[in-house]
Every structure is written in C-alpha cells, then in structure tokens.
Amino acid sequence: MDFLMLIIMITLGLIGSFFSGLLGIGGAIINYPLLLYVPPLFGAAHFTAHEVSSISMFQVFFASLAGVLAFQKNSKGKLEPPVIHKGLVVYMGSGILAGSLIGGYISGLLQGDVINLIYGILALLAVILMLIPRRGSDNIQDHLQFNKIIAVVSAFIVGIVSGIVGAGGAFILIPIMLTILKIPTRTTIASSLAIVFISAIGGVIGKLTGGHIPLWPTLFTVVGSLIGAPLGSKISSKINVKVLQYGLVVLIALTAVKVWSTIL
C-alpha cells in the first residue's frame, strides 16, 4: 500500500467514525459511498462492492466500540441516569446479532450491483422514517416502555440487510427507535451505538466466512475510526438533540441521492 492510499483510508475511517460518535451511527452510511467513490477519484484504488462492504463492517465494529466507551466515560460522575439503556440494548442487540450473522454470509453470495441496490433502498427508507413527525420527549428516562416484540423483529430484519452491505444498521435502526418505539433522542443515539457494536460482531464473523477482505485498507480505515469516534461522541453531548436529528436526515439524504444516481 502506497502513502497516498494510507492517508486516504485513515481519513475516510476518521470521517465515518466521527459521525458515528456524533450521531450514534456505525459510520457505514457515510463510509460506504466514500470508499466506493473517493479512492478511484484520486487514482489510489478501486474497491468492489464486496470489498467496500467488508471494510465498512470492520470500520463499524471498531468505531461503535470506541463510541460506546466514550459515551460511558462521558456519563461518569453525572447525576442523570445512564444514556445507554441496557434493556433496549439486550432486546434489539440479540435480534440484530442473529440477523447480521445471516446477512454477512449472504453478502458473499450476491453480485456487487445487488449490494449497492440494497444499500440505496435502505438509505431512502431511513430518510422517509426520519421525516415522519413523532410524539415523545427528548428527556432521558429511567424506565422506558417499548414493544419488545417489535424491537427484536425489526432489529433482526435490519441485521440481515445491514450485514449484506457491511453496515451496523444504525442509519435505519435509529428512525425505527425514534418513530416506532418512541425512544428519546439521546437515549436512541447512545443505545444505538451499543446495538450496532453487537451487530458488527455478527457482521464481522459473516464477512470472515464470506471472504473479500482487503487487509491493509481495512487496517488503516480502522486506525482512523479509533481516532474519530471519541471526538464525535464528546461533541455530541454538547449539541442540541434537534440539531443532531436534522443533521442525520441531511446526511442520509445526500448519501441516498448519490447512490441512486449511480444505480440509475
């Protein structure tokens, strides 16, 4: 790997993981199109959809882990209850883990164009869900009431499709948590990172069994991830929740436009 490729991969990993910590996403919603389009733009490399999917999944694994640890560290010594809701993480984490194991394996059996199409559909669906008006409070709660069956089933389905494209699933999981399960925004952002980390465990195992993993590009993307995620989570605690939510909508919408323009 040459120096230009090294710098590009670290930078892309940093950008994706920064938004991972900031918005409670795994980072693949940003990194997937970046990895697909940026390296060829600089003549550094050209990754297939399978390789991008694998790199993204490993990036999500380490970015979400770093983000969760940063959130836990930032919450210590504060009077309010922990932002990460353990019950929510257990129910949705178990569903998404099972789904991501299946999706990660299926990914290796699909053509690259099919993987891009699935990604485009997910991004479009996420934008629609985020724009649906919702009722509820943005205040952190000790005891959350949510439909456990919907939580597990929706997480399982998200796990399958996100495992295919190499995502942790947060960019579709967050709208479900906000609009369907009515989870407060800050709790959603922090808890989704923990759920995504569980999803990434299954996704990584699936990718290892399916192959298509470029070693060095993956390694340097992960290095960037470990730098960006703590920075994003630290800034997240100081930003108004509405700003975070609308920022996520814009981010996903831009990505959806780019991916669909390529597909069509």
Which H or E run contains 15? helix 3-23
Name the residue among 131, 197, 194, 190 with its Cα closest to residue 167.
197
Q: Distance between CA atoms of 261 and 163, rounded to whole angstroms?
A: 23
Tens digit of pLDDT for each residue in 29-74? 778 778 888 899 888 888 988 888 888 888 888 877 777 777 667 6
- List per-residue pLDDT tens for the chain, 264 residues long: 588 888 999 998 888 778 777 766 666 777 877 888 889 988 888 898 888 888 888 888 887 777 777 766 766 655 455 567 888 999 999 999 999 889 888 888 888 888 888 888 877 877 776 676 655 455 555 567 889 999 999 999 999 988 888 777 777 788 788 888 888 877 887 788 789 888 888 888 877 876 678 888 989 988 988 888 778 777 876 777 667 667 767 877 877 787 788 777
